[in-house]
Structures are given as C-alpha cells and as structure tokens.
Amino acid sequence: AQRVTQPEKLLSVFKGAPVELKCNYSYSGSPELFWYVQYSRQRLQLLLRHISRESIKGFTADLNKGETSFHLKKPFAQEEDSAMYYCALLNYGGSQGNLIFGKGTKLSVKP
C-alpha cells in the first residue's frame, strides 16, 4: 500500500541554521510528491512539488528514488518558517485523485 512517513513530529532549530524535514514514501513506480505547509491560523497550502523542480521561500526538495525519500531542505532557517509541514503522495490507486499525507512535522525556528 502507498504510504508516507515523516519520522519527526517536532524539529527545533535556531535561526540561520540549516533545516531538513524528512519524508519517505512507499510506492514502486514514479511518484508525484508534494510538500504542504500550514502556518499558524492559516489554511493548508502547497509549498512545492517535485515535478516543478522549484525553490520556494528558499526551500528545495529532491526526489531520491533509490532511498524513496523526498526530504525538504533549507540552508538558513528563518523564524517565519515556523509551521507544520506535511509531505504528500498522489494516490495512484483508485481514481488517482486524492493525496496521501504523512503525519506532519512541526518546525520551530528559535531566534
């Protein structure tokens, strides 16, 4: 079955430090993967997707098929990056519409 695992519930770093939020998935084919972010008192929103190969707000994520990982990275964390981050995998079964989410990682960036 398809699954997304985010091993860290909470990640705390100091401002200016590098940050890496881990995401592993289980799917044998070519996945379509996303990172969603939810800032305090805001709705869940798309941060980036691997097929776009873009950097958003300084974040990047590289798909590693060998390790079945899609870790989110930023070289210098900012306080405004504090939020809940969810990794998600497009469901390839059924009607191929919904996303399969990890349980999320809460990132706290301290001043």
Partner 1 sequence: GAGVSQSPSNKVTEKGKDVELRCDPISGHTALYWYRQRLGQGLEFLIYFQGNSAPDKSGLPSDRFSAERTGESVSTLTIQRTQQEDSAVYLCASSLVTGFGTANEQFFGPGTRLTVL
Enumerate binding residues for partner 1 (CB under 8 A). 4, 6, 32, 43-46, 49, 51-52, 86, 88, 90-91, 94-104
52 versus 78: smaller Cβ distance to partner 1 = 52
Residues whose CB is less than 8 angstroms from the CB of residue 86 and which lie 6 or more positions away in sequence, other chains included: 6, 35, 36, 37, 38, 44, 101, 102, 104
Would you mind telling me the total number of residues written for the chain in this entry?
A: 111
Cα 78 to Cα 19: distance, rounded to the nearest angstrom: 10
Shortest reach from residue 44's CB to partner 1, in Å: 4
Shortest reach from residue 100's CB to partner 1, in Å: 7
Shortest reach from residue 21's CB to partner 1, in Å: 14
74 versus 85: smaller Cβ distance to partner 1 = 85
Cα 35 to Cα 84: distance, rounded to the nearest angstrom: 10
Shortest reach from residue 84's CB to partner 1, in Å: 10
57 versus 103: smaller Cβ distance to partner 1 = 103
